[in-house]
Amino acid sequence: MDPILPIATVSVLLGALIALVFFRSYILKRKSEVGSITKPEVHSDTKKPTKPTQPKKSHSKPHSQASDKDQNKRHHPLDLNTLKGHGDSVTGLCFSYDGRSLATACGDGVVRVFKLDDASSKSFKFLRINLPAGGHPVAVTFADDSNSVIVASHSMSGSSLYMYGEENAKPANDSKQQMKLPLPEIKWEHHKIHDSRAVITLVGTAATYGNADGSTIVASCSEGTDIKLWHGRTGKNVGNADTNQLKNTMAAISPNGRFIAAAAFTADVKVWEIVYSKDGSVKEVPKVMQLKGHKSAVSWLCFTPNSEQIITASKDGSIRIWNINVRYHLDEDPKSLKVFPIPRRDSSGTTLHYDRLSLSPDGKILATTHGSTIQWLCVETGKVLDTAEKAHDGDITWIAWGPKPIPMGDEQVVVLATASVDKKVKLWVAPSCHSA
């Protein structure tokens, strides 16, 4: 017998044994791997209602926090409501004398008159007035009542004034017919009122001083140097003034209809008196005063509610309060009663000027704007009561206080309205001035 044969047989048997052991080990290992994979999957299925929820929670929580931060940026404590629906930049706004209506002029060619039945309402009813084609409303003011508005519109040929009033409602026995609101129609209109120049401000007031009969007097201020006075109800041009200062910035009428004041290219503010005849008509508009003291151009001004003082903001970084209740006919000059530094700085510490001013109906709070920021100041001390950074998503174009408190639920609140290029009008509650 060949001695090699047993050795080969043993080698084959050992090889087969080793292969069997290896194969068994491999099979057991695969079972273990399959078991380790299958077991967590079964566990995951049993935890399915809770486990997917945890990742969602952890993912949504930062999103929620970011959303809250955005809301905090958007919603200031004094931010009461937003009047939406404008199709373009809102160029002007004005409250009615009773404070229950708010008219807005918009670049989309529409004037809207909102009814402020409740300042906290989710939606507001409004009357829509479409201006004649080709013109864009740039400013609006009320005439003798909350159903009549005067609109300044600008086109390529120049500026126009339109007075819209409601057609007299005809008496009817049908209650449904009585419920219908009459549509506004043009009562009077004037074109190229400042030649080809644009109207930059349009303001009106119920004239009660002297022999004035309470009718609305309106001042249109052009981007040139001229200012024109109009009788609100009839549209008659009743007076003119000229600043002779290269270009105007704005003009305002005192609440009692006695004075006109204009901010223009220079640091001085000119004041005219509206003199009324015995029949209540405007007799003349002579220049009577000049406010001198600022070192740079006056950016905006406003009258106090009693018509005896003027507040001016200048690019020299100061605010001044002037007493204009003087005997100017005896050459008595208006006095600067108070001077406050403008408490607004940029990132480098440079003082910023104010673009707009508006004084609360009680004369205690001065609302100011710079760009998209609103700042409320105490008139008595000049201290900042509150600031709303980025109050709008663009520059603020106009601000106005409601002349009277309006309803907000069971309360009555004093409201500031702001208009902006961001197509929105916002309502703001007045801050407390006790802490200043």
What pLDDT was estimated at residue 19?
66
CA dist 63 → 52, 66, 364, 393 (Å): 17, 5, 42, 22
Give the pLDDT band (50/70/90) at residue 346: confident
Dist CA 316 CA 202 (whole Å) = 26
pLDDT in tens, 367-394: 999 999 999 999 999 999 999 999 999 9
Number of neighbouring beta carbons within 10 Å of residue 139: 26
State the amino acid at position 125 in one-letter form: K
Q: What is the pLDDT of residues 261-303, one digit of tens each?
A: 999 999 999 999 999 999 999 999 999 999 999 999 999 999 9
Cross-strand partners of 139: 152
For residue 240, count CB atoms less than 10 angstroms from its CB and return exposed for 0-12, middle for 13-18, buried for 19 or more: exposed
At 331 the pLDDT is: 85
pLDDT of res. 185: 92
Q: Model's pTM, two decimal places?
A: 0.80
CA-CA distance, 204 to 160, in Å (whole number)? 16
pLDDT tens string 107-164 = 999 999 999 999 999 999 999 999 998 889 999 999 988 889 999 999 999 999 999 9
From CA 165, how far away is CA 149, in angstroms rounded? 7
What pLDDT is recorded for position 62? 39
CA atoms 142, 147, 153, 159: torsion sign = negative
